[in-house]
Chains A and B, each alone.
Chain A
Amino acid sequence: MAKWPRRLARTYLSLIDMINKPIKAEPGAEIQPAFQAAKATAMALQPRPGANALLSQTPYGYVISGKPQSGRFAHPFKSSLQGGKVGFVRVAKGLVDIFEPVIRVDGKKVPLSGDATHLTPVLKLTPLDGEARSDGSVETWVCVEVTPDEDGAVSKESLIEVVHRDSPKSNDPDVGRHPLALILWAKKEPRKLFQITYFNLRYYRTNPPEGAGIPHHFFL
């Protein structure tokens, strides 16, 4: 162990000496230079709370407590990839306008927040062709699809469904599609999920001008 400088040792022991014999300074008395050095040493040793840390001082010492930052961010449509090689996605509740999308579970439409028989509905993933990258990985998307009513608006009768697709853009001119999350596949196994949507959505459709064209579907 390295030897401590004599000056520091002397200062520290002076500090201990002073703690054992508390100094009461009289008005007009000269403050000893050693006390100043000891004060500096004590200050340098004093712990202070920084970010996310709570410091408590007790007669037996300091207690440091912290609330760990989980980095989690609860938001609408928060998606998580689960199930390992089989792969399914759980999507937190979110709204399109004022309506909650559904997930098909065994052919039955279940709201994202679940119902009496399916408390936590999940979207089962099956390998799709998707968009291939140069390293062999494939991208697919978890999307919300909206089939508006005749007026082009979302209503109680509209079909709003969370689906797994090979493209974030719909080829059906009557269906609006918005990506919620991207899933990265390797060797036909879902490996990673990237969240795309963080907010509830509003849907709006514009019809083509007279003549040709297809409707445009906007998610705002």
Chain B
Amino acid sequence: MIKHVEPSDWNRSVGPKLVQAQIRAGRHATLSRSSSGQTISLGGSSQWRHPWWTRLVYLGAERRWVAIVNPGFVNGKVPVYRARMTEWISPDYGINPLNGRRYFSDPVFGPGEERSTGSQVDIPLYGNPAIALSWRKLGFDGDDAVPQFFQDRGVQRPPNLEQQLLSGRINVASQMQKPGARLLRACDIVLHQPRQALTSTVNIEPGIVTGMSNVMQTLSLRSPSASDALKIYASSRFEPSAGIQSSIDPVARDYEEATWDEILVSTVYLLSPPNMAPESEPDARWTPFVRHNLFWNLAYAQPRLQALRDDPGTPYIPPLAGGAAQLVINFVTASLNDATRDALNILRAHSMAGRFWTPTGGGSDALFPPPPEDQRETASYGLDKKRELAAARAAALASKRSLKLDPDYPHRAEQFDLSLLV
């Protein structure tokens, strides 16, 4: 056995050969080294990406994360990202393939007096705008709603002090951050679709002699603001519209729907390295993850404003200026509670909330077949309970580890709402 080697001998003979034996990553290849070997991966960067595919990019100069969303379409139109001048002037968006110049290099986008502060510019999604993000905290220093995917990766749920106080048992250990725990931040990317909205005005004329009140409810349409547009934006917390709530009182005051519909495009997450101090701000060391909600382009439609066929009342539709419709409904009622209930039901029946769907060729059914792994059978060890238990534990652990944020291809499609056909 060789007991001693001079460095000069090594550099002359074996060393260069060892360097030559090293594997290096070439074009479309990535190489990762570990103690168990060198892993070569090929062609991972040119995979087909679906519409609305979202990725996170860290802008080192500005020390912040931004999101870039693949172009998606609604009724063939591309949404815009509405950016403030101060937000989009500084980042470098690269070369515009259409004219060979840098994006927004035209003088019209220059920092003129009226554009220097606060003014906005609409960038279509195919221009790959960098979407500014605002984060909400999840986990130990934030909300309790931590997805299982991140709990498996070391995100600690927040201590439930209130419940412990109520039960009279305070667990001090649960109030501390565990060693190796990670923090989590999240932000929602939202699609905003302007639409016509329903408005309602109610007049009640008490009938002195009969004891019955005559109620006149006028429904009309309100157009969205002229400056509103099909757009995409980031929100620290997106809450979908719950529709017309039973808590509103259309008799007490005029009711107006929102002049837009919104749907979640994706939720982006940042996972911290282990042992980060609570309340830390995300930086380049955090790992990005994305959970998509939309995978395919969308169609969008609103229901017609149409008359009620049954009682109450006899509606008629006089035209309004601008082509909008106005619906007047008369009904009689014995009490104010009845009037509120009837007016609310009429509001619900005439809501102008629109629907998104994905044209999949499947008609009203846009459901794809289940992924193959759902049909996989588990191995059985018969009477060997010990092995069966161990296999079940291993399977449960594997399913936890392999839990993914997005469903496999063909992903998921938005279902068509049959009520639009009425």
Contacts and interface: CB of A to CB of B under 8 A. Distances in A.
A66 B42 contact: yes
B217 interface: no
Nearest to B309: A209
B359 A178 contact: yes
B285 to A, nearest CB: 24
Interface stretch (B14-22, B190-198, B232-240, B264-272): B14-22
Contacts of A213: 304
Interface stretch (B146-154, B330-338, B360-368, B391-399): B360-368
Given A69-B44, A135-B106, A141 B76 contact: yes
Contact of A218 (B7, B34, B78, B421): B421
A199 B359 contact: yes
B75 to A, nearest CB: 6
Contacts of B4: 10
Interface residues of A, number: 71
Interface in B85-113: 96-99, 106, 108
A117 interface: no
Q: Which of A16, A53, A213 has the most CB of B within 10 A?
A: A53
Interface residues of B, number: 70
Contacts of A134: 108, 121-122
Nearest to B8: A3
Interface string B269-307: 000000000000000000000000000110101001011
A213 B317 CA distance: 12
Interface centre among B35, B76, B299 (most CB of A within 10 A): B76
A180 B205 CA distance: 54
B32 interface: yes
Contacts of B176: none
B42 A44 contact: no
B255 interface: no
Contacts of B97: 191-192
Interface in A10-66: 10, 12-14, 16-17, 34, 40, 43-53, 55, 64, 66
Contact of A219 (B40, B42, B71, B359): B359
Interface in A176-217: 178-179, 182, 184, 186, 191-192, 194, 196-202, 204, 206, 208-209, 211-213, 216
10 contacts: A4-B10, A10-B4, A47-B40, A50-B39, A52-B43, A68-B28, A182-B76, A192-B126, A194-B126, A219-B299
Interface of B: 1-5, 7, 10-11, 14-16, 18-19, 21, 23, 28-30, 32-44, 46-48, 71, 73, 75-78, 96-99, 106, 108, 121-122, 124, 126, 296-297, 299, 301, 304, 306-307, 317, 357-364, 366, 416, 420-421
